[in-house]
Amino acid sequence: MISPRDFHAALAAEGVDFLAGVPDSLLKDFCAYVDAALPPEGHVIAANEGTAVGLAVGHHLATDSMPVVYLQNSGLGNTINPLLSLADPEVYGIPMIVLIGWRGAPGVKDEPQHVKQGRVTPALLDAMEIPYRELDGDPAAAEEAAIWAATTARETGAPVVLLVHKGAFGKAEMKRPSREVSESMMTREAAIQLITGTLPAGATIVATTGMISRELYESRGELGQDRASDFLTVGSMGHASQIALGIARAKPGAQVVCLDGDGAALMHLGGMATIGTSETGELLHIVLNNGAHDSVGGQPTVAQQISLTGIALACGYNRVEGPVEAEADIRAQVASLAQVSGRRFLEVRVRPGSRADLGRPRETPAENKAQFIAQLRG
């Protein structure tokens, strides 16, 4: 296995002094190492993968050094525009190394949302005319690949990709100390149970990518509740709130609730402006803010350093509440917001972390969709 420390040292030897990216489960130990080891000027956890490319371009323009962008292949789509219309050698020609966690690589069993994305990842890179090499767990090959990537990026003045297989990185020897959480904070799963139990029966719920959808699914099973009014946004991080708005606008009688994550809300923050300025739609947008990308390893987000409620207010939501964290406050706010009409926002602060035996939906996305639309259109 590749040691995150050694791989970072190999990159640093090639002149890499800045990394930006969105965390990924396959890169989690590399991300943990970088986040703990680098000074703040050397590393940014970006809002989305495309903005990470922008940061890398800016860093290169200012310093001439080689930046690294890291991401999960789910986020490749977010990078395509700035890779092709900004960093590409036919535009500004910016050298950079793009480290991509390869979920759904052919032959590796993975969740439905990763299968096609994984299969077409090399073809997408080929179509973008971006050279790439694969990293399995071989440390010597990884060091050589780092040298190849930096040399090729420098020579061509263009982005070069390293595609990282599952299990390639070993454990990080260094981790940022975990944040303190207050006593009254609930786990995300308990907060989800409280919220679903407080909402009027039959409310349409659109849950975001990662553990929020998985915990909603599990909670329904444990509480013996029907799952037909839940849409689980298994992929497509950052789009749940817009799916919810699309439903709410098209179904004026429906009470629609989005269970969003802070990382997801930040990833496409512009969606909040669209919700806040929408003139129709009964939508309650709830962000479960744990200040982390919990689903892929718990790397921090900036969501507890900014005011999500301030943003919602400024975007024009009809009513904004929170942050709340105590059980009684969450229950009271959800009950009260469910009675109000228009576009509403609630920030709920929860603890990072999940239980180790958290399951995954047993139905396919197609089955989830069929049940959901039967209930919604019924």
Size of the site for ligand TPP (CB under 6 A): 26
Q: Does 23 bind ligand TPP (CB under 6 A)?
A: yes
Q: Is 233 in the site for ligand TPP (CB under 6 A)?
A: no
Site of tokens 């190394």: 97
**Residue 133 CB, nearest distance to ligand TPP (Å)?**
22
Look at the chain and count its residues.
Answer: 378
Choices 4-12, 26-34, 286-294, 311-319; region in contact with ligand TPP by CB under 6 A: 286-294
Q: 77 or 197: whose CB is closer to ligand TPP?
A: 77
User: What residues numbered 163-192 form the site for ligand TPP, per CB under 6 A?
Assistant: 188
Residue closest to 78 by CA, chosen among 49, 104, 113: 49
Considering only 53, 146, 211, 330, the residue that binds ligand TPP (CB under 6 A) is 211
- Residue 72 binds ligand TPP, judged by CB under 6 A: yes
| Kind of pairing between the strands at 299-300 and 292-293 | antiparallel
Instruction: List the interface residues with ligand TPP, window 101-140 (CB under 6 A).
Output: none
Give Cα separations from 64 to 45, 51, 87 (angstroms): 21, 19, 14
**CA neighbours closer than 13 Å in the CB half-sphere of residue 109:** 0
- Of the two residues 74 and 242, which places its CB atom closer to ligand TPP in the complex? 74
What would the DSSP string read from start to end of 16-67? Answer: EEEEEE---STTHHHHHHHHHHS-GGGEEE-SSHHHHHHHHHHHHHHH--EE
**H or E stretch at 365:** helix 365-377
Residue 88's SS3 state is: coil
Closest CB 19 distance from ligand TPP, rounded Å:
16
CB of 262 to ligand TPP, least distance (A): 4
Is residue 262 at the binding interface for ligand TPP, with CB under 6 A as the rule?
yes
Residue 260 token pair:
């969003």
294 binds ligand TPP (CB under 6 A): yes
The reply to whether 14 sits near ligand TPP by the rule CB under 6 A is no
Out of 301, 309, 333, 368, point to the residue binding ligand TPP (CB under 6 A).
301
Pick the closer one to ligand TPP by CB: 3 or 289: 289
Question: Residue 139 or 235: which CB sits closer to ligand TPP?
Answer: 235
Residues 117, 123, 127, 131, Cα dihedral to 10°: 110
The alpha helices in 224-290, defined as continuous H runs, are 240-250, 262-267, 270-276
| Neighbour-count burial for 62-85, b at 16+ CB within 10 Å, e otherwise | eeeebbbbbbbbbbbebbeebbbe
75 touches ligand TPP by CB under 6 A: yes
Q: Rounded CA gap, 31 and 170, in Å?
A: 12
Binding of ligand TPP by 3 (CB under 6 A): no
Distances (CA, A) of 265 to 39, 242, 259, 364, 365: 26, 10, 10, 25, 22
CA–CA separation, 11 and 368 (whole Å):
43
Residue 271 is a binding residue for ligand TPP (CB under 6 A): no
CB 209 within 8 A of CB 48: no
* Of the candidate residues 10, 172, 212, 243, the single one contacting ligand TPP (CB under 6 A): 212
The least distance separating ligand TPP from the CB of residue 279, rounded to whole angstroms, comes to 27
Considering only 33-41, 204-212, 244-252, 304-312, which stretch makes contact with ligand TPP by CB under 6 A? Answer: 204-212
Cβ atoms of residues 207 and 259 within 8 Å: yes
Beta carbon of residue 265, minimum distance to ligand TPP (angstroms, whole number):
7
Q: What is the DSSP string of 90-152?
A: TTT---EEEEEE-TT-TTS---HHHHHHHHHHHHHHHHTT--EEEE-S-HHHHHHHHHHHHHH
Nearer to ligand TPP, 14 or 294 (CB): 294
Q: Which of 295, 309, 333, 368 binds ligand TPP (CB under 6 A)?
A: 295
* One of 208, 242, 309, 368 touching ligand TPP (CB under 6 A): 208
In the bound complex, what is the minimum distance in angstroms from residue 65's beta carbon to ligand TPP? 25
193 lies in the site for ligand TPP, by CB under 6 A? no
Return the residue of 51, 117, 242, 290 that touches ligand TPP, per CB under 6 A: 290
Interface residues with ligand TPP (CB under 6 A) are 22-24, 72, 74-75, 78, 188, 208-212, 235, 237, 261-264, 290, 292-296, 301
